Structure formats: C-alpha cells, structure tokens
C-alpha cells in the first residue's frame, strides 16, 4: 500500500517524488537518527527538567555533526541519490 494523492496538480521540476511503502520507517533516514539518539544518549535515563533533556540532545547532535562518517552511515541511502 502506498500513499498518493490526486490533489497534487503539478510537480515542480526540481522536486523528485520517491514513493515509499506505508508503515516502513526503516527507509526514512531520520528514523535511524532517532534510533541512534535513543540508544546512545537517552536510554535508561530520566531527566529532571526539559532543559536537561535539550542539553543532552544538543550535545548528541553536535557530536554526530562532527562525526561525518557515522552520520553518513545512518542517513545515506542510495535510492535517495539524485540522478543527473
């Protein structure tokens, strides 16, 4: 089952639609990012405040941003590459 709409009248030339199967978070790169955050930074923790949680998330995202190879391994999917 895929989600499509007949309401989309025109697709701009600089937009490429990639139809994904319904209920398939494993093909969504951001799901891999959330999984990494949950496993490495948030698991088995209780935060005393929202500010503490935000601080840990900011630290985690900064670390991931610096580690380009690790980030690439989580977020790069060959089927998302744009052809010329």
Identity of the highest mean pLDDT range in 31-40, 47-56, 65-74: 47-56
Classify each residue of 51-82 as buried b or exposed e, where b means 16 or more C-beta atoms within 10 Å of its C-beta: eeeeeeeeebeeebeeeeeebeebeeeeeeee
Q: State the pTM of this model.
A: 0.60
The pLDDT confidence band at residue 29, using thresholds 50, 70 and 90, is confident
Please determine, for residue 13, whether its predicted confidence score (pLDDT) is greater than 90: no
């Amino acid at each position: 089952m895929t989600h499509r709409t007949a309401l989309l009248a025109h697709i701009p030339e600089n937009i490429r639609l990639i139809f994904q199967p319904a209920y398939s978070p494993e093909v969504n790169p951001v799901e891999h990012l959330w999984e990494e955050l949950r496993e490495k930074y948030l698991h088995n923790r209780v935060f005393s405040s929202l500010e503490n949680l935000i601080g840990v998330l900011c630290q985690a995202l900064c670390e991931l941003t610096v580690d380009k190879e690790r980030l690439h391994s989580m977020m790069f999917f060959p089927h998302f590459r744009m052809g010329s």
